[in-house]
Structure 1
């Protein structure tokens, strides 16, 4: 295997970092002992920039190339998400009920709070029964992950200092 560039990130199928590499788990390293690597990463991934800097943390993350709306070191997204009202598409619920106050269409279901009220009267004047439109959903978080395979991301702590073009 060719000597890596210092700071190069590779994927490995085993659960440890090879000699000269470290897992990309966000750990803090001392600048004093890793000056060349610090000159490449700076505090992009964390650290105080005086005595420490952080390695990238790819635990539970998918790497994304920087672009117009995302920059190096930025994190976003979540493994599970609970929808809010503002995220739900606008929609209607179908009202359920019987065709008359006795519930002959659907037994025990009426439109009004009183079964003696006929919703088909010329001027129905009653409060709608809360059972006419039931709540839906459980407000539980749902999985938000694309299909994935877990591998070990490691960063080279030693290697060739990458030249710039």
Structure 2
């Protein structure tokens, strides 16, 4: 492998940062020991800019280029945007309904689940499932269908593969055009 550029970020498939590299875990670094790297990164990723500066934190993050694509949001270097979880509110869900046919089942031996007595979901002999809805011949117990979600967040992460993002602490200093 040739010598990397200082500040270059690469992905590694092993569990440690190689010599003269550091994981992109948002750690705070002393400027006095890393002045050349600080001159490249500044305080884009944290630190006070007098004594310390931060390395990028790519833990649980997708990388995104700085700038603005056509019709997209503007992102500055070091912006941390997005969320690992999202809670959908009722106004954010498309309008829909949940329907079901319920048929009275007088035979206790054929009941299943937890519906009230004489009202268990079943498919009568004269109705085939997965066809246009038929008129029901019983009422559905109120506790069988309920509101879902409960305001809990769901995962909002893209598909991922766990890898180590590492940044070169030393190497060739990149020349500006």
TM over 0.5: yes
Superposed CA RMSD: 2.5
Counterpart CA distance in 2 for 1:161 and 1:47 is 21
Unpaired runs of at least 5, structure 2: 69-73, 104-118, 120-135
Q: CA deviation at 1:91?
A: 3.9
1:40 is matched with which residue?
40
Counterpart position of 2:107 = none
Give the unaligned 5+ runs of structure 1. Answer: 110-130
TM-score when normalising by structure 1 = 0.74
- Give the count of matched residue pairs: 140
Note the C-alpha offset of 1:89: 2.2
Partners of 2:96 and 2:156 lie apart in 1 by: 22
Deviations along 1:46-75, one digit per CA (max 9) or x if unpaired, are: 111111000000001111111221111111
**Aligned-residue offset at 1:88:** 1.8
Match of 2:66 in 1: 66
Query: Equivalent of 2:80, from 52, 75, 84?
Result: 75
| SS of aligned partner of 2:38 | helix
TM-score (norm 2): 0.70
Output aligned runs, 1:111-122, within 5 Å: none
Equivalent of residue 153 in structure 2, options 122, 127, 141: 141
> Deviation per CA, 1:81-101, whole angstroms, max 9, x where unpaired?
221223222445659899xxx
CA distance in 2, matches of 1:108, 1:149: 45
**Which residue of the partner structure matches residue 110 of structure 2?**
none
